[in-house]
Chains A and B, each alone.
Chain A
Amino acid sequence: MNLLRLRIEPADGVPFLRDLDRPELVLGRSSKTDVVINDRFLSRVHARIVQRGDEWLLEDMGSRNPTRLNGQPVMSPSALKAGDVILLAESRVIVEGPGGAVAPPADTAGLPAQSDDTLRGSTIFRSASTFFAPEAVAAEVKDPLARSLAERLKFLNEVHRALAGPITLEALLELILERAFAHLQPDEGAVFLRRADGGFDRAASRRLPGASGDLLYSRRLAEEVADKGMAALVTDAGIDERFARAESIVVSGVRSLVAAPLLASEGSHGMIVLSARQRARPFGEEDMELLAALASAAALRIRNLALAEETAQRRLLDKELDLARDIQMGMLPRAFPTSPELGIAATLRPARTVGGDLYDVVEEGPHVWFIVGDVSGKGVGAALFMAVTKTLFRAIAPGEASVGAALTRLNRELARDNERSMFVTAFAARLDRPSGTLEYTNAGHSPTYRLEAGGSIGTLPGPVDPALGAVEEHEYRTSVVRLDPGDGLVAYTDGVVEARNAAGGELAPAGLEAYLRGCGDARPEAIVRGLVEKVEEFAGETPQYDDVTVLALRYRAGA
């Protein structure tokens, strides 16, 4: 026969213990009963517990407030077992196995209700202490406190070992819940992770078969636990004011809840919440402490996983930017028109970040059109604007009456629907090969140098019109010079003159001019290569954030 004892928690008194030491025990408010319970809502004679064979049966004695066993009204005599909870009006009676802990006085909930290994039946009604005390340890360590500490260490050791290996976030969360279920026996559990916007996602959840209703989540709980980093123990969420006021909490039938923050050094990643509706006994402080320890072990790992994911995402982004860069570079011509009158060469040396430099060379009969441009800003937006500019130039320029007319059209196309007001500075020109006549337009770009056959250098004169894309209607002007045989031209982007060295200095126009003066009658390919080398030499190991683009031509002779 079961040796059971009762732990009585009167509504209006201190808890006390009573062994089931006779075949019949009557419980009620009357002093004539065997177990007098101080609760003004109790009937004088409320219920009784009678022995029948191997069992103890609980029977309601026609009380005004029906007796409940584990939440269910007792309609007929019901068998009791360790871990059961009897509700008599507002008082609670907990059925314990033999050797149960003596209740410290004046505590109303969460006392470790000890049970023994004679327990049978539903997991739901086992008291938590059994999970801290598997048989092996329970046999060796008699002292309940020492036993629970030993078990807790064992549990945490297990968790740490499990978390040590490589693991995905999903697997990690599953593991945490699995451990929490094995040791704390909730009905439901969930891990909530904080989103970037401060809200929470239910990243993982678990529920016992038959557990009903939604998992507990309330903003209030999230504030207390995830935001303030507090572990929470709510012994009866249905009546706990703090949570009853919460907007989204599901209060019906909730009996007990324990929650702990996923706390890492830089803050909280979220929280883990366990709830029990049908548990024999509410969660206790021990459960809360254990969950907090589990959560902190998990938080460190979650943080590392988050960092790893961030790194992986950055790598993916870098890869995409590299791809954008490759596509961009692929758009630029490598081979240039060759003719006896003209040699032309160009190159773009990309910066670390995706930029928006461009060049192009287009033949149209005796004419050669070319452009060197630099889109404002960096990144994918600049790369796209560069691609559009280059494509439009190639489509628009041939056939236009003048360079100014071509850029007027190009500008109109670029400025239309240009919500972000991106723009591209450009030097565009058309050379008539037979005559050496060069028409050109400067749209907000660095001045182009002319290398005269005699060795002197100078910038091409003329007005500066707005960079392309800035304003929708603008008539771009055209300047004209006539190149002499042997003359060279060098157009470039800011990356050349704004190249930086370790000392923070810039190559500057002076550095560019010094180089150009030394070019003599070098071929365009040599001028381009030499200037890029000059920039690289100047910059050394200092990373450059601007593309470097150079276009050079040498006019040899008229027809």
Chain B
Amino acid sequence: MEISEERGDGAMVMAPSGRLDSVTSNELEKHVVARIDAGDRRLVLDMAGVEYISSAGLRVLLMAAKRLKDPPAALVLCGLGPSVRTVLELAGFLPLFVIVPARKDALARLRGGA
């Protein structure tokens, strides 16, 4: 798995790619936590490059959402492929996240909420 990061429009965009399994999820978790701890309050997770997500990967998404809820901020997911979407759906997690089609939508969403 690789994680690319890009900052723009006052938001931090993180794009993991490859498999988000129990091993690689820990890596993503570290990155996300580091960003949030460093003060990033608007986070976009672009999942376009993610081929597979396990329950461990879902846990990281939940953790990010929870961390950004208090104080209020925003986590937006975008670029969900069918398999990632299905896993989120099966776990009953679709309603728990703000999900938009593409990165530009995510950034627009975060701007709108500013």
Contact residues of A with B, CB < 8 Å?
A: 374, 376-378, 420-423, 425, 442-444, 446, 464-467, 470-471
Given known A-B contacts A421-B66, A466-B96, A470-B96, A444 and B59 have beta carbons under 8 A apart: no
User: Is A378 in contact with B93, judged by CB distance below 8 angstroms?
Assistant: no
> What is the bound-complex CA distance between A471 and B95, given in angstroms?
11
Which of B2-10, B35-43, B84-92 lies at the interface with chain A?
B84-92
Looking at B55, B93, B95, the one whose CB has the most chain A CB atoms below 10 A away is: B55
- In the complex, chain B residues 54-112 whose Cβ is within 8 Å of any chain A Cβ: 55-56, 58-60, 62-63, 66, 89-93, 95-96
Considering only CB atoms and an 8 Å cut-off, how many residues of chain B contact the other chain? 16
A37 to chain B, nearest CB (A): 66
Q: Is the interface of A mostly helix, strand, loop or mixed?
A: loop
> What is the bound-complex CA distance between A425 and B58, given in angstroms?
12
> What is the bound-complex CA distance between A521 and B63, given in angstroms?
45
> What is the bound-complex CA distance between A422 and B60, given in angstroms?
9
User: Is A466 in contact with B93, judged by CB distance below 8 angstroms?
Assistant: yes
> What is the bound-complex CA distance between A353 and B56, given in angstroms?
15
Chain A residues lying within 8 Å of B90, measured Cβ to Cβ, are: 444, 446, 464
Other-chain residue from A423, A425, A442, A443 in contact with B62 (beta carbon distance below 8 A): A423
Other-chain residue from B59, B66, B89, B95 in contact with A376 (beta carbon distance below 8 A): B59
> What is the bound-complex CA distance between A471 and B58, given in angstroms?
13
Chain B residue nearest to A425 (CB atoms) is B91
> What is the bound-complex CA distance between A442 and B90, given in angstroms?
10
User: Is B92 in contact with A422, judged by CB distance below 8 angstroms?
Assistant: no
Chain B residues lying within 8 Å of A377, measured Cβ to Cβ, are: 22, 55-56, 59
Other-chain residue from A378, A420, A466 in contact with B91 (beta carbon distance below 8 A): A466
Given known A-B contacts A376-B56, A423-B55, A425-B55, A470 and B89 have beta carbons under 8 A apart: no
User: Is B63 in contact with A444, judged by CB distance below 8 angstroms?
Assistant: no
> What is the bound-complex CA distance between A466 and B88, given in angstroms?
9
> What is the bound-complex CA distance between A471 and B22, given in angstroms?
21
User: Is A421 in contact with B96, judged by CB distance below 8 angstroms?
Assistant: no
Chain B residues lying within 8 Å of A422, measured Cβ to Cβ, are: 59
B29 to chain A, nearest CB (A): 9
Looking at B22, B59, B93, the one whose CB has the most chain A CB atoms below 10 A away is: B59
User: Is A466 in contact with B58, judged by CB distance below 8 angstroms?
Assistant: no
Other-chain residue from B22, B55, B56, B95 in contact with A466 (beta carbon distance below 8 A): B95
Contact with A along B17-34 (1 / 0, CB 8 A): 000001000000000000
Given known A-B contacts A423-B55, A425-B55, A467 and B93 have beta carbons under 8 A apart: yes
Chain B residues lying within 8 Å of A446, measured Cβ to Cβ, are: 90
B83 to chain A, nearest CB (A): 13
User: Is B22 in contact with A421, judged by CB distance below 8 angstroms?
Assistant: no
Chain B residues lying within 8 Å of A465, measured Cβ to Cβ, are: 92
Contact residues of B with A, CB < 8 Å?
A: 22, 55-56, 58-60, 62-63, 66, 89-93, 95-96
B17 to chain A, nearest CB (A): 21
Can you list 21 A-B pairs, Cβ within 8 angstroms, ordered by A?
A: A374-B55, A376-B55, A377-B22, A377-B55, A378-B22, A420-B63, A421-B66, A422-B59, A423-B55, A423-B58, A423-B91, A425-B91, A442-B92, A443-B92, A466-B91, A466-B92, A467-B58, A467-B91, A467-B93, A470-B91, A471-B62
A14 to chain B, nearest CB (A): 63
Can you add 8 more A-B contacts, CB < 8 Å, to A421-B63, A442-B92? Answer: A374-B55, A377-B22, A421-B60, A421-B62, A423-B62, A467-B93, A470-B93, A471-B62
B23 to chain A, nearest CB (A): 10
Chain A residues lying within 8 Å of B66, measured Cβ to Cβ, are: 421
List the 3 closest pairs (A to B, CB-CB), nearest first.
A376-B55, A421-B63, A444-B91
B88 to chain A, nearest CB (A): 9
> What is the bound-complex CA distance between A377 and B59, given in angstroms?
8
Chain A residues lying within 8 Å of B60, measured Cβ to Cβ, are: 421
Chain B residues lying within 8 Å of A467, measured Cβ to Cβ, are: 58, 91-93
> What is the bound-complex CA distance between A443 and B92, given in angstroms?
7
> What is the bound-complex CA distance between A376 and B62, given in angstroms?
12
> What is the bound-complex CA distance between A188 and B62, given in angstroms?
57
Chain A residue nearest to B23 (CB atoms) is A378
Given known A-B contacts A377-B22, A378-B22, A421-B66, A464 and B92 have beta carbons under 8 A apart: yes
Chain A residues lying within 8 Å of B91, measured Cβ to Cβ, are: 423, 425, 444, 464, 466-467, 470
Chain B residues lying within 8 Å of A425, measured Cβ to Cβ, are: 55, 91-92
Other-chain residue from A374, A442, A444 in contact with B93 (beta carbon distance below 8 A): A444
Looking at A422, A442, A444, A465, the one whose CB has the most chain B CB atoms below 10 A away is: A444
User: Is B56 in contact with A470, judged by CB distance below 8 angstroms?
Assistant: no
Chain B residue nearest to A545 (CB atoms) is B22
User: Is A471 in contact with B55, judged by CB distance below 8 angstroms?
Assistant: no
Chain A residues lying within 8 Å of B58, measured Cβ to Cβ, are: 376, 423, 467
Chain A residues lying within 8 Å of B55, measured Cβ to Cβ, are: 374, 376-377, 423, 425
Chain B residues lying within 8 Å of A442, measured Cβ to Cβ, are: 92
A327 to chain B, nearest CB (A): 22
> What is the bound-complex CA distance between A374 and B90, given in angstroms?
13
Chain A residues lying within 8 Å of B63, measured Cβ to Cβ, are: 420-421
Chain B residues lying within 8 Å of A471, measured Cβ to Cβ, are: 62, 96
User: Is B62 in contact with A444, judged by CB distance below 8 angstroms?
Assistant: no
> What is the bound-complex CA distance between A422 and B62, given in angstroms?
8
Chain B residue nearest to A424 (CB atoms) is B55
> What is the bound-complex CA distance between A82 and B63, given in angstroms?
75
Chain A residues lying within 8 Å of B22, measured Cβ to Cβ, are: 377-378
Chain B residue nearest to A463 (CB atoms) is B92
B82 to chain A, nearest CB (A): 16
A465 to chain B, nearest CB (A): 5
> What is the bound-complex CA distance between A467 and B61, given in angstroms?
13
Chain B residues lying within 8 Å of A443, measured Cβ to Cβ, are: 92
> What is the bound-complex CA distance between A421 and B58, given in angstroms?
9
> What is the bound-complex CA distance between A471 and B70, given in angstroms?
13
B92 to chain A, nearest CB (A): 4
Chain A residues lying within 8 Å of B92, measured Cβ to Cβ, are: 425, 442-444, 464-467, 470
